[in-house]
Amino acid sequence: MIKFILGIIIGVVLALGGLYLYLTRGGLQMSTTSAPLPLERYFAHHALAASIGKAADKQSPVAADDATFLAGAQVYDKNCMGCHGRFGQGPSGLSKRMYPHIPPLLPPAKGVTDDPVGGTHWVVSNGIRFSGMPSFSPKLSDTEIWQVSQLLKNADHLPAPVQEVLRGKQ
């Protein structure tokens, strides 16, 4: 029994020592151009989904109508466009210089149109740690966050005047 416990302690110490050496000897490259770590995307994806949790099921208090999309487009124009890019243009110039890359959220990209609007509302309110995605609560009101979330959920069928705002033409 003593040998078994000793074995576990030595195993843990070796693992921690290995991790320490890995981190302090440059094993973990912090450059934005370095390749992802093994399983990094898997863990990041699952940790985010678990953090969002039941918030994904929240129903939006603002309707998915043209007035909401127009208001959401104004919010996007002022707060998100610099990073996430304009309508019709794909990723912004900044996108690939950050790690993780900033995902385009407007057509021609699919963005978050397949995700529940409650999940997008959670991401915009709380931001995403280790990524550069800022939290917007309380900078934006909860209504503004729902408006921009509804805009992004419905980004693949927006009316022309809303698209114009998102192209940066108004």
Q: Would you count residue 132 as binding ligand HEC (CB under 6 A)?
A: yes
Binder among 73, 136, 165, 166 for ligand HEC (CB under 6 A): 136
Dig out the tokens for 1 from the structure.
Answer: 């029994």
Element (H, E) at 124: helix 117-126
Find the residue with minimal CB distance to ligand HEC: 80
Dig out the tokens for 140 from the structure.
Answer: 């934006």
* 100/163 with CB nearer ligand HEC: 100
Q: For ligand HEC, what does the binding mask look like between residues 43 and 82, x meaning CB under 6 A?
A: ------------------------------------xx-x
Binding residues with ligand HEC: total (CB under 6 A): 22
Q: Which span (2-10, 27-35, 58-66, 128-136) binds ligand HEC, by CB under 6 A?
A: 128-136
Q: How far is the CB of 2 from ligand HEC (least distance, A)?
A: 46
Dig out the tokens for 70 from the structure.
Answer: 């127009």
Q: How far is the CB of 23 from ligand HEC (least distance, A)?
A: 21
Count the neighbouring beta carbons within 10 Å of the beta carbon of residue 170. 11
Closest CA to 39 of 51, 47, 49, 31: 47
Three-class DSSP category at 79:
helix
Q: How far is the CB of 42 from ligand HEC (least distance, A)?
A: 13
Q: Which span (19-27, 53-61, 99-107, 158-166) binds ligand HEC, by CB under 6 A?
A: 99-107
Three-class DSSP category at 101:
coil
Report phi then psi at 97, rounded to 5: -85, -5
Q: How far is CA 12 from CA 1, 2, 7, 21, in A?
A: 17, 15, 9, 14
Q: Quick one: how far is CA 157 from the chain centroid?
A: 22
Q: How far is the CB of 73 from ligand HEC (least distance, A)?
A: 11
Contact positions vs ligand HEC (CB under 6 A): 79-80, 82-84, 98, 100, 102-103, 105, 112, 120, 123-124, 128, 131-134, 136, 148, 152
